[in-house]
Structure 1
C-alpha cells in the first residue's frame, strides 16, 4: 500500500510480524494521524482486533495468524501437552474477538492444526512462525489477483460506488473491493469513486477516502442515505463491496448498509459485485441465516470522533441524554441481489459458489 508520509511515498502492509511482535497500522487514528501499533503479547493483539485497531476480514485473519505465532514464540516450556493446552486457550481468546469475520476462524484453526501434525514444541513453534507468514503473503497475493480480475469489469470513465472500507487497510495489501479500483487507476481508466461514509464508525469517509487520496484517485464522500439518489439519477455505473463471510448459497455478510445498497442497485439496474478471497467462503454456513451478526457498543452510534479546529482529536455526543441505540456491525445480502463474486480464482455467480460447496 502506498502511503504519502513526511513528504515522500513509502510502501506499507497493514499488518506485519517479526520476532514475536505484531505491527499494525492503527486504523483508529486515521485519517488524521498515521501511527503504528506494536504488540508483543497475543492478548494485546486480540484487543487490537476487538477494538478495531485492525479491521476487515482478510486483515483480521492475518493478524490472528500472527497472534498465534507470537503466542508460540514467547512460550518457554518444552512440555508439548502444556504447549497444546496453552495454544488452545490462545485460539479461543482470538476466536472470541469478532464473531462475523470467517477469515479470523479460518486462520486460527489453520495455525492450531499444526499441533496435530507434530509432538515437538520446537518443531510446532517453527512451523507456526513459517505458516503465519505464508498466510499473510498468500492473502496479499490473492487480493492482487482479485484486482487484476475485477479490473476487467471496469470501463473507462466508470463511476463506482463502494461501501465501508475494503481496501489495503482491510487486508494485508491491495484490498478486495478496492483492488479492482486500484488496478483500474493504474491502467488510466479515469474512474470516479463515490464513498459511502459508512456510519457509525465512518470507515468509508475516514479510511477509504484516505486510501483514495494516497493513490490520487478522484472521489467524493457521500452520506449513506444519498446512494439511492445518485443511483436513480444515473450517476453510478457499478458497485463493488467486500464481504466478511460468504455462505455456500451465495448470501454474504458485510458492513451494515450493504443490503440496502444491493436492493437499490437491482431497482436501478446497476451491477452489484462482491470482492473477496475464497477463504471468506464458510463451507459450514449453508445460508445467510446461519451467520452470527456482531452487535457492537451503542456508544459508536451515540458519539462521533474527529479533530477540532485546533487539530485536537475529540469525541462528542450527538444524541439526547437517555436515548439508546442499536448497533449491528453487519447485515446479510441475499444471493439474488448479487451480480457476481470476484475472487482470486475468477468471477463466480452466487449459484456457482453453491455448486462448488454442495
Structure 2
C-alpha cells in the first residue's frame, strides 16, 4: 500500500499508525494499529475516535492484512471483529459493508486496497462539501457553540461541524467559538480547543453546564455538532450532552445544526430508539487518569451510569448539513432519509 498521511492516520512501511488522541494536546504520539487487537483496543480507549475516522482506520487495516497474505476467511473474521468495536457509530458499519463487497471479488487483495484508499479520498471530499454547504448558514459576526470534536482529528479531511466553522472563519464570519469541554473524556477541551488554536479560530472553553447561561444572555448565535448515526426519521445519535444542547437551543430560539457525511446515515434504522447506545467504564466518571497518575474523587463503591451517546429528536434540529447539501425539517418529513 502506498504511504498515506492524514491528521490522525498514517501508513508507513506498509504499517498502520494512529495519532493517540488520549495524549493530545500535550503530546503528538503515533501508535501502531497494525493488528485487529491493537486497533480494537485503540477504538475502545478512544485513542482513535470520531465516527468517520473509526470506519476509515478499520478499512485501511483490512486492506493491509490482505496485502500481507491473509486469506478470505481470516479477513472475514477480522472484518466482523472490527465491526463490533463501536456499536453506535454507523460509519464503521457502512465502510465495512463496502469492504465486504470488495472481499467477495476474485482479486480481493487489490480490490480491498483500492476501496480503502477510495474511502479516504471520498471522506476528504465529503468534508469539503459539508464545509461549503454549512458555511452558507453562518452569519457574519457569529458566536458559535460546538460539542465534542468534529475536526480533522475525527475524519480524513477538514472535519464536519468543525470544518464548517473553520471555513466560515476563513470567510471572516466567526467572532468566537464556545467549546464545550464534553464529558466524560473532555474531547472538546483537549481536542477541539487544540484544533481551533492550530487554525487560528478565536474560541473560549466552557464547561458543559454553562451553555444555558450563555444562551440566556444572547451570547450564542448557533450550535454546530456532528453525528455518529442519523436515523431514517432524522433523529441523531451523538456524544452525550448533545440532546441537552438541542433542548436549550430550542427554548432560546438558537439554530441547532447537525453536520455529517452520507456515511453517517442509517436509512434502515427507523428512529433514535433503535440506535444502540454504548455504555462506557465507570472509571471515566469517578475520577481521572493520565500521565500525571490517577485521581479518584467519587466514593469507591459509587454506581455510575455512563452512556457515550444520547439521541436528539429530529424535531429539535434546524437543519442537517450533508455533503449533498442542506436538508431541512420539511425534507425529513417528506422521507428524504428513508430507504429509496
- Superposition TM-score tier, normalisation by shorter sequence: over 0.9
Contact 1:59 1:170 in 2 (8 A): yes
- Aligned match of 2:338: 357
Q: 1:320 aligns with which of 299, 308, 313?
A: 299
3-state DSSP class of the match of 1:144? helix
Shift, 1:84, TM fit: 2.3
What's the counterpart of residue 116 of structure 1? 104
What CA distance in whole angstroms lies between the structure 1 residues aligned with 2:280 and 2:40?
A: 16
Aligned partners of 2:81, 2:29: CA distance in 1, in Å?
Answer: 25
Distance 1:315 1:198 in 2: 20
Matched, 1:23 2:17: yes
Aligned match for 2:37, one of 19, 31, 43: 43
**Which residue, out of 7, 17, 27, partners 1:33?**
27
1:41 touches 1:70 (CA, 8 Å); kept in 2? no
2-structure distance, mates of 1:313, 1:56: 25
Partner of 1:294: 278
1:347 has 2:336 as partner: no
Alignment of 1:256-295 (within 5 A): 256-295=240-279
TM-score normalized by structure 2? 0.94
Does residue 337 in structure 1 map to residue 321 in structure 2?
no
Q: Which residue of 1 aligns with 2:187?
A: 203
Partner of 1:153: 137
Residue 304 of structure 1 pairs with residue 288 of structure 2: yes
Deviations 1:103-160 (A, max 9, x none): 0011111111112232xxxx21011111101101111110111111111111221000
Matched, 1:227 2:215: no
Aligned to 1:144: 128
Tell me if structure 2 keeps the 8 A contact 1:42–1:71.
no
Aligned pairs for 1:122-141 within 5 A: 123-141=107-125
CA distance in 1, matches of 2:40, 2:109: 19
2:52 to 55, 58, 63: 58
Separation in structure 2 between the aligned mates of residue 146 and residue 16 of structure 1, nearest angstrom:
24
Secondary structure of the structure 1 residue equivalent to 2:132: helix
Counterpart Cα distance in 2 of 1:291 and 1:226: 28
Q: Deviations over 1:41-85 (max 9, x none)?
A: 232122222221111101111111112112212225xxxxxx222
Distance 1:224 1:190 in 2: 21
Shift of 1:17: 2.8
What does 1:213-224 correspond to in 2, within 5 Å? 213-224=197-208
Structure 2's unaligned 5+ residue stretches are none
Deviation at 1:324, TM superposition (A): 1.9
1:63-82 matches, within 5 Å, as: 63-75=57-69
How far does residue 194 in structure 1 lie from its aligned partner after superposition?
0.3
Q: Which 5+ residue runs of structure 1 have no aligned equivalent?
A: 1-10, 77-82, 307-311
- How has the CA–CA distance of structure 1 residues 117 and 12 changed in structure 2, closer, same or farther, with 3 Å as cutoff? closer
The answer on 1:85 being equivalent to 2:73 is: yes
CA apart distance, 1:19:
5.2
Q: Work out the CA distance in 1 between the residues paired with 2:219 and 2:67.
A: 52
Q: Is the 8 A contact 1:42 1:70 kept in 2?
A: no
- Paired positions, count: 333
**Could you say which residue in structure 2 is the equivalent of 1:103?**
91
TM (norm. structure 1) is 0.89
Q: C-alpha root-mean-square deviation of aligned residues, in Å? A: 1.5
